[in-house]
Amino acid sequence: MSQQVTAATPFVPDDDTYHLPTVDDPLWFETTWWSFSVPERRLGGWLHAGRHTNRGTVSWRVFVWDPSGADPGRLAYYRNMPDVPLADDADLRAVEFPAGGFSVRMLTPLMDYHVAYADPEARFAVEFEHRSVHPPHRFTPGEAPAMHNPHLDQLGHLTGEMMLDGERIAIDCYSVRDRTWGPRSRHHSHGAQPAATGTGSRILHPGGAGWRQIERERGRGRIQYIFGHSWGGAGCDTGFLSFVRPQDGDAAGWSPLNMGWLLKDAEFARLDKSRSRMKNYRNPDTGWSEHMEVLLVDERGRTMEAEGVALSHMCEHAAGSNASMRWEFDGKVGWGEDQDGWRVDHFARMRRALRSWG
């Protein structure tokens, strides 16, 4: 009998490569995601690939955003290649995605990796090593948004270089990679059916600002992921990472955090999800996150207050955005992201309410 997987179950070296599907579901999906930043340029970047294993394809994309523009047509760099055939024996420990995609090479199992990509025609390239600062943290099984699929998050020190429109820019930051695999009978953005509230309402705790009530509607597929870390000559010793649950938020606008870590005095500990929360303030013109407060408590009782402001945005799907964030916590300045995911119709309703004159 297989042992039950818990939040404390460690990952193993074979988790560095692709997993064999356990079902024939055509929506079996396995991802690899890498993020980086250049804070002084208010710049963020992603390399992401999602493999539909049972379909024999992979969709990959690479993008960089800064204050010059947020939609794909105005980003500093954007390329998206959907549904490219991928060999059945592809090994994520040493892979180059087809049709000009990025490459990943494992250097140390579960810890260190080399990532590279080049688009000579666009005078763009990026190459770095991701040296992890801790073993991968497992997403809590049975909790939204991944629910039943394994998920890992891992902070690393990235060093390398990017060429943007011919300009060479050094990369030296701390940022996050993640992986998820398993069947997705519904896409994250489709959400699950709303849980019963006892009143038949989609809102668990009615009241407060109208736009916040719309944001708190259950079953709309809202997903939000925030992180920020501070680094300097001594390395990275302060920061946090968490998923946010706006669907479970209160009328005052505070949303609980349902997983993640607190990094304090160079020591990681899991968050106490019953005591950690975030309050977000949105720009009335764009609807995107502009400013947020985060109150964090870990399972050891350590606390931290963080305040973040958005410096630049990337809006890939006409709704929420990925934002580069500047954070202040424990007397330090840190950098990270706010990934704010919405269905387009839900976002449009929230934004109308946010801009309403009466």
* Domain edges within the chain: 21-183, 196-355
Q: How many CB atoms lie within 10 A of CB 333?
A: 14
CA dihedral 75, 344, 223, 148 (to 10 degrees): -110
C-beta of residue 31 within 8 angstroms of C-beta of residue 48: yes
What is the end-to-end Cα distance of the chain in Å, rounded?
Answer: 60
What are the residues whose beta carbons fall under 8 Å from the beta carbon of 285, sequence distance 6 or more?
355
| CATH code, 21-183 | 2.40.370.10
- Quick one: pLDDT at residue 190? 43
C-beta of residue 99 within 8 angstroms of C-beta of residue 62: no
Q: Running DSSP on this structure, what letter comes out for residue 27?
A: T
- Quick one: pLDDT at residue 191? 43
Cα 350 to chain centroid distance, Å, stands at 22
The vertex-82 CA angle with 15 and 319, nearest 5°, equals 95
C-beta of residue 24 within 8 angstroms of C-beta of residue 54: yes
- Quick one: pLDDT at residue 8? 84
Averaged over successive runs of 10 residues, the pLDDT of the chain (358 residues) comes to 75 96 92 98 98 97 97 97 97 98 98 98 98 92 78 97 97 97 65 52 93 95 95 93 96 95 96 97 97 98 98 96 98 98 97 90
- Quick one: pLDDT at residue 135? 96
* Distance, CA of 338 to CA of 43 (rounded, Å): 13
* Distance, CA of 312 to CA of 335 (rounded, Å): 12
Tally of residues, the chain: 358
The CATH architecture of the domain made up of 196-355 is Beta Barrel (2.40)
Helix (H) or strand (E) holding 263: strand 254-264
Question: Residue with structure tokens 């770095």?
Answer: 128
C-beta of residue 228 within 8 angstroms of C-beta of residue 335: yes
* Distance, CA of 34 to CA of 179 (rounded, Å): 9
Cα 200 to chain centroid distance, Å, stands at 32
C-beta of residue 97 within 8 angstroms of C-beta of residue 115: no
Buried b (16+ CB within 10 A) or exposed e, 261-294: bbbbeeebebbbbeebbbbbebeeebbbbbebeb
- Quick one: pLDDT at residue 187? 47
Domains 21-183 and 196-355 share a fold: yes
pTM, full prediction: 0.94
